[in-house]
Amino acid sequence: LAISPVNAAIQLPDIIGDNMVLQQSTNVKLWGTTSKANATITVKTSWDSQTYSARSDSNGKWSVLVSTPKAGYEPQSITLSDGETIKLDNILIGEVWFCSGQSNMEMPLNGFSNNPILGANDDIANASRHKGIRFATVPKTSALTPQETCEGKWQVSNPENAQWFSAVAFHFATSLSQILDVPVGIINCSWGGSVVEGWLPERILRNYPDIDLK
């Protein structure tokens, strides 16, 4: 994340940052906060040089929709400002998929203890060949209410990063990228051994008195 000055007022969730992939040919929501209420936030995209604007509410929250072009491997950037500037770099436009599940989806290319994955060493060693593959892995965090942000920064595909990518999601991404010839971004939110109740909203769980929400 390129920031100038250092203490910029605009704050973005991890999922919006350098190296991210944005869904092609649609309107993508960007959001965040600023230290200023009722401030004008300008957003300029490199692919069309268009400037979008939003206004923060009394709590400094803001959101804006930006139009995305067709997929491509040329790195793009987004510049945001409320008087102080943040620039997001190395953005690709392509296909974005959300992957979730239990341990079968969580299992990284590096495998689990005493559970290696066949051929994974070659996949990890050659991970840099997949220039259009990006991953954002959400750490295990529980909450009873929807969260406005979470950890999970975007990472490019290389041997250092790929060993921790979901193996299933990685092979899905590489296959999809090869078939469609577009960049692919994966948001992986998996939790081995989790129960289905843990993925349901509180308003639904309250209908079942045998479930302890404490």
Give the three-class secondary structure for 168: helix
Is residue 8 pLDDT above 80, yes or no? no
- What value does the mean pLDDT of the chain take? 93
Q: Which of 7, 6, 55 has its CA nearest to residue 31?
A: 55
Is residue 124 pLDDT above 50, yes or no? yes
How far apart, in whole angstroms, are the C-alpha atoms of residue 214 and residue 208? Answer: 14
Per-residue model confidence (pLDDT) at position 142:
85
Per-residue model confidence (pLDDT) at position 5:
41
Instruction: Please state the pTM of the whole predicted model.
Output: 0.90
Per-residue model confidence (pLDDT) at position 176:
98
Instruction: Judge whether 35 and 110 are in contact, CB under 8 Å.
Output: no
One of 2.60.40.730, 2.170.120.20, 2.60.40.10, 3.30.70.3170 is the CATH number of 2-199, namely 2.60.40.10
Is residue 170 pLDDT above 90, yes or no? yes
How far apart, in whole angstroms, are the C-alpha atoms of residue 103 and residue 213? Answer: 24
Q: How confident is the model at residue 110 (pLDDT cuts 50, 70, 90)?
A: very high
Mean pLDDT throughout 33-56? 96
Q: Which residue has the higher pLDDT, 205 or 95?
A: 95
Strand duo 2-4 + 85-101: pairing: antiparallel
The single-letter code of the amino acid at 34 is T
